[in-house]
A = this chain, B = another copy of it.
Amino acid sequence: MIIMERNATDEQIKRVIDEILRCGLRVDVSRGEFRTIIGLIGDEKGVSFDHLAGLPGVKEVQPVESKYKLVSREYHPDSRIIKVGDVVIGGGEPVFIAGPCAIEGREQMLKTAEEAKSAGANILRGGAFKPRSSVHSFQGLQEEGLKYLAEAGEKFNMPTITEVRGEGQVELVAQYVDILQIGARNMYNQDLLEAVAKMGKPVLLKRNFGAGIEEFLCFAEYIVAQGNKDIILCERGLVPIGKGKEYTRYMLDLSAVPVLKKETYLPVFADPSHGTGRRDLVEPMSRAAIAAGADGLMIETHCNPQEALCDSQQMIMADELKRIIDVCIKIRKIM
């Protein structure tokens, strides 16, 4: 839908119409008392709206169809269910991903896995290639860490997930883990998205902290465009706004959960650990995310959070994880 300026000339209107026809579409022209509005009819895929918006006399271009047809529930109504090992994601039962922020050693990984398993977690996480804000911080054990994660997953019969931070690690990581994670900072990294999508394994895609819902889904589209529909969307918080003290690291946007469930057929998770950055907020925000309709949670746990090398403030212990899982299952049941 193209809205012309009030004083657009007939010539300008004609030029816009010609350009649209040249792209193989048809037009529906509505000449009002004050303005002319031109609707596009047909397949808009090949049309450059940027180009049309730049033509003289055009006030604005308002898209009517969504920008993300491949992941849109309007076009594909059935919810996607993803099976990884024995775990069913998006099937009604909430799924819990747990494990340490960073894999720090074999013992830490095994112990944390054992505790997470007995607390009721379904999938095991652990960071081997850590994205860090400071070049001076611990950057992860890399392949050594992946081995510990795989060993722990196998030992406790838990599918595994880890973040792929850069293109150079895609194949390596895919050898060791069951689900590949794209972190919030890489949501816009289309080269990485395509490389990861091609591995044929489920992908957990985190929303960037500055991204609107529309952008989030447009980038999920990059994965589906490679033929991979096994995508878990994960809300993990937006950049804080407002002045003064930061009480939380990010601002978990839980309304994204029901919005995404409506807009797309993909399962939706939330990450209350990164989303808040505070241990004491993990439990209330876990409950809230499930109550908002999340299909699962990603929670950072550690056998000894106070000794952790990374994100120490937001990791919880197994007893708290168990309490969270128990209450979340109950909340889901009464919904």
Contact = CB atoms under 8 A, between A and B. Distances in A.
Interface of A: 1, 3, 6, 28, 30, 32-35, 37, 39, 41-42, 45, 48, 50-51, 53-56, 62, 64-65, 67, 70, 74, 131-138, 165-169, 185-186, 188-192, 208-215, 218-219, 221-222, 225, 238-255, 257-259, 262-263, 275-276, 279-281, 284-285, 287-293, 305-313, 315, 327, 330-331, 334-335
Given A48-B310, A243-B250, A248-B259, 15 more contacts: A30-B30, A48-B137, A134-B221, A166-B190, A238-B241, A239-B243, A240-B241, A251-B251, A255-B276, A255-B281, A257-B288, A258-B280, A284-B291, A287-B291, A288-B291
A310 B242 CA distance: 21
20 contacts: A6-B74, A45-B136, A48-B309, A50-B309, A51-B312, A56-B306, A62-B62, A133-B218, A165-B191, A166-B167, A213-B244, A215-B242, A239-B242, A240-B241, A247-B255, A247-B259, A258-B284, A285-B292, A288-B288, A327-B335
Nearest to A101: B50
A255 B246 contact: no
A313 B53 contact: yes
A86 B239 CA distance: 41
Given A32-B28, A191-B167, A254 B285 contact: yes
Contacts of A186: 188-189
Copies in the complex: 4
Contacts of A55: 306
Contact of A252 (B51, B255, B293): B255
B135 A222 contact: yes
Contacts of A243: 211-212, 214-215, 239-240, 246, 249-250
A-B pairs with the 8 shortest C-beta distances?
Answer: A210-B210, A166-B191, A212-B242, A54-B312, A214-B244, A185-B188, A291-B291, A287-B291
A50 B134 contact: no
A64 B247 CA distance: 14
A35 B103 CA distance: 35
Contact of A290 (B135, B218, B255, B291): B291
